[in-house]
Structure 1
Amino acid sequence: MAKDYNHVFCFAVCRCAVSPTGDKLYITNFNQDNVLTLARDGSVLSIFTDPELPRPTCVHVTPAGQVLVCGPDSYNILQIDSKGSRKLATLATKRDGLWSVCYNSNTDSIIVGMVYNKILVYKVK
């Protein structure tokens, strides 16, 4: 059954995050199934696509520069390189509706927001 995304208000630019040095901007593009990496002047540095990441909605950059991406169709969290050009790892694969991700540097934890009013916390070792 096809999913109805009429209620989702993110299309070309869904979410964005800035690198710790401020020289790169990462943008999730829901409609194009990709993550754009832009330079400070707005030029496109790379476009990341992966079959494991359809309709990405959330991107977060840790203080160490790790780029984390997820979306409601992928049910996983991918880590991509700081250039935004390739996948480094699949960090989580949960089949019940991952929606957002962020990193808490105080607790060294990845915090995952779920579609169905649930939050998961993964301790980074």
Structure 2
Amino acid sequence: MLMVLCFTVYKCAVSPTGDKLYIINNNQHKLLTLARDGSVLATFTDHALDNPNGLHVTPAGQVLVSGWGSNTIIQVDSEGKRKLATLAMEDEVVKPWSVCYNRHTASIIVGLYNKSSIIVFKVG
């Protein structure tokens, strides 16, 4: 028997104002931005977003996504339409599993799958 895993809604996060829902589609390597009514506002794809699996929205509304297959952490604008920055790449992160921003320490915390550890990046 062949089993196919379809991570259509792999992870989700809500904007600080509650008007947008961000969804990772792991299988199609996409970040979707939805309105409250479920309508699609934006679909974001990028070569640095291979097997996305970590998702976090900062208090400022910027979206952080980890690409497990691409070994990257990217920052996307609050509209979910364009990449603002690549925050970490393969030489710094390998198989990033989760990502989170801590505003009290102004740092990005990345959980790594293969090493069962975290990396902390100071920002700002």
- The residue identity in structure 2 corresponding to 1:33 is H
TM-score between the two structures when normalised by the length of structure 2: 0.89
Query: How far 1:46 moved relative to its partner?
Result: 0.5
- The residue identity in structure 2 corresponding to 1:120 is I
> Runs of 5+ in structure 1 lacking a partner?
1-5
Would you say the 8 A contact 1:38–1:45 is kept in 2? Answer: yes
Q: Deviations over 1:37-91 (max 9, x none)?
A: 0001110000000011111111100111111001210111010111101111000
Q: Secondary structure at the match of 1:57?
A: strand
Query: How far 1:16 moved relative to its partner?
Result: 0.7
4+ aligned runs moved over 6 Å, structure 1: none
Q: Secondary structure at the match of 2:61?
A: coil
Q: Secondary structure at the match of 2:41?
A: strand
Q: Which residue of 1 aligns with 2:72?
A: 76
Query: How far 1:12 moved relative to its partner?
Result: 0.5
> Runs of 5+ in structure 2 lacking a partner?
none
Partners of 1:108 and 1:14 in 2: how far apart?
A: 27
The percentage of aligned residue pairs carrying the same residue is: 62
What do you get for the CA RMSD once the two structures are aligned?
Answer: 1.5
Partners of 1:109 and 1:99 in 2: how far apart?
A: 17
Q: Which residue of 2 aligns with 1:94?
A: 90
Query: How far 1:10 moved relative to its partner?
Result: 6.8
* Aligned counterpart for 2:43 among listed residues 47, 51, 61: 47
Q: How many residues align?
A: 118
Q: Which residue of 1 aligns with 2:107?
A: 109
Partners of 1:63 and 1:83 in 2: how far apart?
A: 14
Partners of 1:15 and 1:42 in 2: how far apart?
A: 15
Would you say the 8 A contact 1:14–1:29 is kept in 2? Answer: yes
Would you say the 8 A contact 2:54–2:96 is kept in 1? Answer: no
Matched, 1:13 2:9: yes
